[in-house]
Amino acid sequence: MADQENKSGVKKGTTRRDFLKNSGLTVGGVVLGGALGSLLGGRAEVGNEEVTPAPKPTANPAEALTFFTPPQYQLTQAAAERIYPKDDNGPGAMELNAAIYIDHQLASPWGINAKEYMAGPFYEAEETQGSQIRILRKDLFLLGLKALDSYSNEQFDSKFTGLAPEDQDAVLTAFSDGTAPDISGVKSPIFFSLLRTLTIEGVYADPVYGGNKNMEGWAMRKYPGSRMAYIQEIQKEDFVKLEPQGLNSHMGH
């Protein structure tokens, strides 16, 4: 199956070859080496078997996807990074693993609205009557990701991750102000709000939930993290700098 190319030379759709190549992708997009790589046209040395060493498995076993597919993860990562970018203050959402946090949250009972009232009938609500959305949060999020790509393709002839940051911002702004079309009957600002809230949570929640990597989100704000009490510090005149600590420091087991 030949690659389909549009006028601007950007490939649309995936071929079987792309799938085989990409199936070796790790979460971070790095292709696993070794025998698989050489099968697909990498360095296949006859006799002298040169094996590209596989990347070291990340130290944190919880840094793996439990909900997203790699493309969904990469799109979420890219969008989150635009909302909370790396700058002079420190790392952005990508480095802080906000997308891992989002992945784990959508996989949790909260992702399927487990403790919300989901029985019908559903009606249009006034502003003051709260959310009356019938689709599950995890589904709204995935549909929203698709919508980001649709809108990007329409406006810029590329999927979201292929866009320059300024164009990504333009797409996200359209979702945030409602210019982008509804997502399965849900106004686009609602999806954007969900994405934004999850991103901020992903940067600042306790690291046990997968984000706020190495508590660097907290460190940037001089936030001391989770502490049982501040009895020693509360009456000090001067600012007391406390290194951040997570729930594992006092609620480990």
Partner 1 sequence: MATKLPKVPVVIVGMGWAGGIVASELTKAGVQVVGLERGKDRNTSDYLMGHDELRYQHREELMQDLSKETITHRNNEEMRSLPMRDYGTFVVGDGVGGAGSHWNGQTYRFLPYDFEIKTLTDEKYGPNKLKPEYTIQDWGITYDEMEPYYDTFEKMAGISGETVELYGKRTNPYPTGPMLKTPIMEMFEKATADLGYAP
Any idea what the Cα angle at residue 249 is, between residues 243 and 253, rounded to 5°? 175
Q: Look at residue 226 and give its three-state secondary structure.
A: coil
Binding region for partner 1 (CB under 8 A) out of 24-32, 34-42, 92-100, 124-132: 124-132
* CB neighbourhood size of 179 (10 A): 13
Of residues 117, 232, 241, 253, which one binds partner 1 by CB under 8 A? 117
Measuring CA to CA, how many Å separate 238 from each of 34, 44, 86, 241? 56, 64, 30, 9
Of residues 22, 132, 179, 193, which one binds partner 1 by CB under 8 A? 132
Give me the DSSP letters along 82-114: HHS--BTTB--TTTTTHHHHHHHHHHSGGGGTT
Of residues 73, 151, 191, 209, which one binds partner 1 by CB under 8 A? 209
* CB neighbourhood size of 215 (10 A): 20
The total number of residues shown for the chain amounts to 253
The nearer residue to partner 1, 113 or 158, going by C-beta atoms, is 113
Q: Is 46 in the site for partner 1 (CB under 8 A)?
A: no
**Pick from 107, 84, 59: which is nearest to 214 by CA?**
59
* CB neighbourhood size of 22 (10 A): 13
Interaction mask 148-167, partner 1, x per CB under 8 A: --------------------
Q: Is 126 in the site for partner 1 (CB under 8 A)?
A: yes
Of residues 35, 110, 165, 181, which one binds partner 1 by CB under 8 A? 110
Q: Is 114 in the site for partner 1 (CB under 8 A)?
A: yes
Nearest distance, CB of residue 205 and partner 1, angstroms: 5
Report the distance separating Cα 85 and Cα 95, nearest Å: 9
**Pick from 178, 88, 191, 189: which is nearest to 137 by CA?**
191
Nearest distance, CB of residue 145 and partner 1, angstroms: 22
Residues 6+ apart with CB under 8 A from 20: 40
Nearest distance, CB of residue 251 and partner 1, angstroms: 6
Q: Is 240 in the site for partner 1 (CB under 8 A)?
A: no
Measuring CA to CA, how many Å separate 55 from each of 5, 59, 90, 104? 32, 12, 25, 23
Of residues 87, 128, 185, 253, which one binds partner 1 by CB under 8 A? 128
Binding region for partner 1 (CB under 8 A) out of 1-9, 12-20, 36-44, 125-133: 125-133
Q: Is 251 in the site for partner 1 (CB under 8 A)?
A: yes
Q: Is 19 in the site for partner 1 (CB under 8 A)?
A: no
Q: Is 47 in the site for partner 1 (CB under 8 A)?
A: no
Residues 220-239 that bind partner 1 (CB under 8 A): 226-228, 234-237
Which residues contribute to the site for partner 1 (CB under 8 A)?
110, 113-119, 123, 125-126, 128-133, 201, 205-206, 209, 226-228, 234-237, 247, 250-251
